């Protein structure tokens, strides 16, 4: 565990910060600075000219703090976009050590700078260097807004600040709250969690796994609606079962999640890699829970699917390590998820004339060509099943793209309403 963090002493005497009141008064007229940038043709400048523009402003003794604060802030952002650690980290340190950025009135600027440092450290695989620069920002790191709390936790886990990382990750789940289980009827109309909120939970769960908080992994995922957790989140939690204090209890608590994984694998909605992870993690969880017969049966099935060389321990270690890994050096891998190319227009089934109504949930994969495949529908009125499935067969999607290449998107769920 890292020693207690100490806040870098930015505090200065009140009279050491020039024109404090005037500076903040002028900062409220931020549009004046934007107008100045527009008059200089800022939007048309290339990155190097933008950097020169800000450096010129900052070196001018006539530049007031109402200009120097946003200029230094935007200079750091410009270096962030340029992806050059040799230039970005010194400018970030320069901004954070500037007495003007210690003013309470400009805390939002400072928080943004810290968030930029966290993201840059992760995407450029330079966590140690970034943490050395940011570890003095104790107040901001301990009390981030809910928008960045999960990514801060992930950053701190990689930096080795286990205690703070775990604390922040648990708060992410507290923010989400424990969610009531949906009834079958509710599941048919449920639109799912906002993907951004889902991403925060994924980062928080990964953080808890990294810090060894296995009981919290199980407890927190068990409190998330099964429809709102991704397959990877379920697999991470299942992988934590053998390391928890009572594996049998942990596995029982994840019962609904395990059933969902089992169903997804059987119906072809797990990717080949996720399927290998599922068999390995479930086998190890059963074995740790002293359910040897079930474990042996599952291992036998896995070896028939993947070969006699299938090694559950190695599989779990591989996939969990990949979940912990930072994004590749040079930036975030370019991923564009599947999107509808045109609205879905189901035909009304002749055998269910209005005023009959129905709610349907259609599950499918999307091929590299953007075509729905492996389509299955459930409806609260079976007369609408064929119509719902046919509607998806006609639908067109933009395929999932990873680094510019189309790949299969597994386990897409589309609600349909007949009204």
Q: How confident is the model over 23-33, as pLDDT tens digits?
A: 655 555 566 77
Topology of domain 335-418 in CATH is: TolA/TonB C-terminal domain (3.30.2420)
**pLDDT score for 334:** 66
Question: pLDDT band for position 193 (50/70/90)?
Answer: confident
Q: Is 288 helix (H, G, I), strand (E, B) or coil?
A: helix
Between residues 6 and 29, the one the model is more confident about: 29
The pLDDT > 90 percentage for the chain reads 59
Model pLDDT for residues 202-238, shown as the tens digit of each residue: 999 999 999 999 999 999 999 999 989 999 999 999 9
- Residue 291 pLDDT greater than 90, yes or no: yes
- The two structure tokens encoding residue 44: 């048309």
Question: pLDDT band for position 419 (50/70/90)?
Answer: confident
> What is the C-alpha separation between 241 and 235, in angstroms, rounded?
10
The CB density around residue 70, as the number of other CB atoms within 10 Å, is 20
- Residue 7 pLDDT greater than 60, yes or no: no
Average pLDDT over residues 67-83: 85
Please provide residue 412's backbone torsions phi and psi, each rounded to the nearest 5 degrees.
-90, 135
Between residues 18 and 39, the one the model is more confident about: 39
Segments making up each domain of the chain, as ranges = 14-143, 183-324, 335-418
**pLDDT score for 233:** 95
Question: pLDDT band for position 14 (50/70/90)?
Answer: very low
DSSP type of residue 35:
H
Contact 88, 79 (CB under 8 A): yes
Model pLDDT for residues 359-375, shown as the tens digit of each residue: 999 999 999 999 999 99
**pLDDT score for 141:** 94
**pLDDT score for 15:** 40
Question: pLDDT band for position 22 (50/70/90)?
Answer: low
* Sign, CA torsion 266/269/272/274: negative
Strands 400-402 and 335-336: antiparallel
Check whether domain 183-324 has CATH 1.25.40, yes or no: yes
**pLDDT score for 168:** 96
Between residues 17 and 212, the one the model is more confident about: 212
**pLDDT score for 288:** 98
Which pTM value belongs to this model?
0.85
- Residue 21 pLDDT greater than 80, yes or no: no
* Total residues belonging to the chain: 419
Model pLDDT for residues 124-182, shown as the tens digit of each residue: 889 999 999 999 999 999 999 888 999 999 999 999 999 999 999 999 999 888 788 88
Among 234-248, 260-274, 321-335, the least confident range: 321-335
- Residue 20 pLDDT greater than 80, yes or no: no
- Residue 290 pLDDT greater than 90, yes or no: yes
């Amino acid at each position: 565990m890292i020693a207690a963090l100490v806040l870098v002493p930015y505090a200065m005497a009140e009279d050491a910060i020039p024109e404090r009141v005037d500076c903040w008064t002028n900062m409220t007229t931020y549009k004046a600075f934007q107008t100045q940038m527009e008059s200089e043709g800022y939007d048309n400048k290339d990155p190097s000219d933008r950097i020169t523009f800000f450096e010129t402003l900052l070196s001018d003794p006539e530049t007031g703090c109402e200009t120097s604060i946003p200029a230094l802030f935007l200079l750091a952002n410009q270096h962030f976009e340029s992806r050059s650690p040799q230039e970005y980290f010194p400018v970030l340190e320069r901004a954070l050590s500037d007495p003007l950025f210690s003013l309470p009135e400009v805390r939002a600027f400072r928080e943004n700078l810290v968030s930029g440092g966290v993201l840059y450290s992760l995407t450029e695989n330079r966590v140690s260097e970034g943490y050395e620069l940011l570890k003095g920002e104790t107040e901001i790191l301990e009390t981030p807004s809910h928008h960045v709390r999960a990514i801060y936790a992930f950053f701190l886990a990689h930096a080795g600040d286990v205690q703070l990382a775990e604390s922040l990750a648990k708060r992410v789940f507290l923010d989400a709250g424990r969610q009531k289980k949906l009834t079958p009827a509710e599941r048919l109309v449920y639109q799912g969690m906002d993907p951004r909120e889902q991403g925060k939970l994924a980062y928080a769960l990964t953080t808890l796994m990294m810090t060894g908080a296995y009981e919290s992994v199980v407890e927190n995922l068990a409190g998330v609606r099964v429809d709102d957790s991704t397959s990877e989140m379920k697999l991470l939690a299942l992988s934590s079962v053998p390391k928890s204090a009572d594996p049998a209890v942990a596995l029982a608590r994840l019962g609904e999640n395990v059933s969902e994984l089992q169903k997804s694998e059987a119906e072809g909605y797990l990717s080949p890699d996720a399927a290998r992870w599922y068999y390995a993690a479930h086998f190890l969880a059963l074995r740790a829970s002293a359910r040897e017969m079930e474990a042996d049966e599952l291992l036998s099935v896995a070896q028939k699917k993947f070969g006699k060389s299938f090694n559950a321990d190695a599989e779990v270690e591989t996939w969990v390590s990949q979940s912990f890994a930072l994004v590749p050096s040079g930036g975030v891998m370019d991923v564009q998820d599947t999107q509808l190319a045109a609205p879905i227009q189901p035909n009304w089934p002749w055998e269910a004339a209005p005023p009959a109504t129905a709610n349907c949930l259609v599950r499918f994969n999307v091929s590299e060509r953007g075509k729905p495949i492996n389509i299955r529908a459930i409806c609260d009125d079976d007369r609408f099943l064929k119509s719902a499935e046919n509607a998806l067969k006609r639908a067109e999607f933009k395929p999932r793209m990873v680094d510019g290449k189309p790949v299969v998107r597994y386990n897409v769920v589309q609600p349909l309403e007949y009204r």
